[in-house]
Amino acid sequence: MEEIKKIHKLFSLKEVDRYGIVKDRQESSAEHSYSSLMLAQYFLPKIKKNLDELKVMKMLLYHDVVEIEAGDTYFLDYKPEEKERNALKILKKKIPGSMAGEIEDLWEEFEENKTPEAKFCQAIDKFDPVIHFLEHKKEWKKAKVTEKIMRDRKDRYFKEFPVIMEMWDKIVDYYKKEGCFLDDK
């Protein structure tokens, strides 16, 4: 029973709220992980890089599990790396040991953002909310987001993947036409 409780701990990601809205409630981090996996499946065949698909899928599955202990960090907020590292140490003690090492290794690789797989996963992670908010365009303005802020925070992740960058540029143009951004001053 102890091992089942440890596996169940990973289910807690479903209870971590994110900034996004789904119907009339906050999106969960687990929902974000799911849609990130879907985006990866869409983009993997379109990019011109030979990536380890299984590694990409596992990295996206695990990239936010630290939020079980640390909570979500909104993209406009400072990313508290130390808080997430400490959360990982705590979480490792509460999940199956057979998974803890791999989760830690993939989380570290994702955070370091040096391997092709990590760079792709970072791009997908940053792209997911952009797609998510197509149904909630007004949220960008409500959050006081300008095009410059969006470009400053996201462009660098997409540049290495032209097909993602091209779609990103189209979405930014769409958001501009829809009046979703605050005017840059």
- What are the tens digits of pLDDT across the range 51-63? 999 999 999 999 9
- pLDDT of the residue at 108: 96
Domain tally for the chain?
Answer: 1
Q: Which pLDDT belongs to residue 146?
A: 86
Name the nearest CA neighbour of 111 among 59, 38, 56: 59
Within-domain flag for 185: no
Q: Does residue 182 sit within a domain?
A: no
Q: What value does the mean pLDDT take over residues 136-150? A: 80
pLDDT in tens, 76-104: 665 667 788 899 999 999 999 999 999 99
What's the CATH number where 130 sits? Answer: 1.10.3210.10
* pTM for the predicted model, two decimal places: 0.92
Within a domain: 183: no
Domain that includes residue 32, residue range = 2-177
Answer whether residue 104 is part of any domain.
yes
The pLDDT assigned to 43 comes to 98
- The Cα–Cα gap between 99 and 172 comes to 39
